[in-house]
Structure 1
Amino acid sequence: MTDNTPSASAIPDDATDHGTAGPDSAAAGPAEQRDLADVPAVEVIGTVTVHLMSAAAVKLGLAENGEADLDLDEARKLITALAGLVTAAAPEIGSQHAAPLRDGLRTLQLAFREASHYPDEPGQGPGEKFTGAVYARG
């Protein structure tokens, strides 16, 4: 059996980039490795949430391929995992870090409801057991 798990001792610098690099960033060379012990927990949590949000957006058909990638079952799992992480981490990382994560989560929950042919009842949607019912602001 092979282990495809990334090394626990190193994390690439660009893993926390969140898409802010310019077009010339690829020319800078290979990503430098950072010792995972030097990476603050809030940065690791932020990176993981961005990956979950991105994957959920793809499964909701919000990415480049649109509805070709639509898979609501997969999106539900990703959004629920994201909701659990954001809810559990919020008291530890502080409101300045948690607020944008909650906003992104809420946006995905609403997008899920819009993409569903038979929307869940309020409080029954993905992750709502952790966040409470999500309603569109109006």
Structure 2
Amino acid sequence: MSNDSFTYRPEEQRAAEGAESAGSAARDIADVAAVEVITTAAVHLMSAAAVKCGLADDADAEGHLDLDEARKLITALAALVTASAPDIGNQHARSLRDGLRSLQLAFREASVVPDALGEGPGEKFTGPVS
């Protein structure tokens, strides 16, 4: 029985190819500034939180609403923004803080029973948001 789409490669060859790929990825990431990695991670968290708050741009936005997941994402975003702000500079930190605040307010608005002031997602890092 022959399968032309399958090519057997010894374990050592597969390991060498994997190491070569990892080395290439490490060289690629070495060229990226820390501020870019941090802001990219923040934007991913922000985008995911927006979808989970029901702010997606599609017709099924309400179907994506998951405030438990949104809380986790917003809290992680708040921790990242707060911790990295001194190192990424005011220009980057300001826009991330603005986006974070908007998400915190959207979360509060989407909640049937809003958290007490200072108890919302990420507010232990940012302080109360109203």
- TM-score tier after normalising by the smaller chain length: 0.7 to 0.9
Q: Equivalent residue of 2:119, what SS?
A: coil
Give yes or no for the alignment of 1:80 onto 2:95.
no
Q: Which runs of structure 2 are paired with 1:107-122 in the superposition (5 Å)?
A: 107-122=102-117
* Equivalence for 1:43: 36
1:92 equivalent in alignment to 2:87 = yes
Check whether the contact 1:84–1:127 (CA below 8 A) recurs between aligned residues.
yes
User: Which has the bigger relative contact order, CA under 8 A and spacing at least 6?
Assistant: 2
Q: 1:68 aligns with which of 63, 68, 79?
A: 63
Alignment equivalent of 2:51, drawn from 24, 42, 58: 58
| Contact residue 72 and residue 112 of structure 1 kept, 8 A | yes
Say if 1:134 and 1:39 are closer, same or farther in 2 by CA, change over 3 A: same
Using the TM superposition, give the Cα deviation of residue 94 of structure 1 relative to its aligned residue in structure 2, in angstroms.
Answer: 1.0
1:10 aligns with 25
More strand by share: 1
Runs of 5+ consecutive residues of structure 1 not aligned to the other structure: 1-6, 12-33
- Higher share of residues assigned helix: 2
Q: Report the alpha carbon displacement of residue 66 of structure 1 after superposing the two structures with TM.
A: 1.0
Give the CA RMSD over aligned residues. Answer: 1.6
Tell me which structure has the larger Cα radius of gyration.
2
Gaps of 5+ in 2: 1-21
| Contact 1:109-1:126 at 8 Å conserved across structures | yes
Counterpart amino acid of residue 98 in structure 2: D
- After superposition, the C-alpha distances for 1:68-124 in whole angstroms (9 at most, x for unaligned) are 010000000000000000000001111111000000000000000000000001100
What TM-score does the superposition give when structure 2 sets the normalisation length?
Answer: 0.78
Does the residue aligned with 1:120 lie in a helix, a strand or coil?
coil
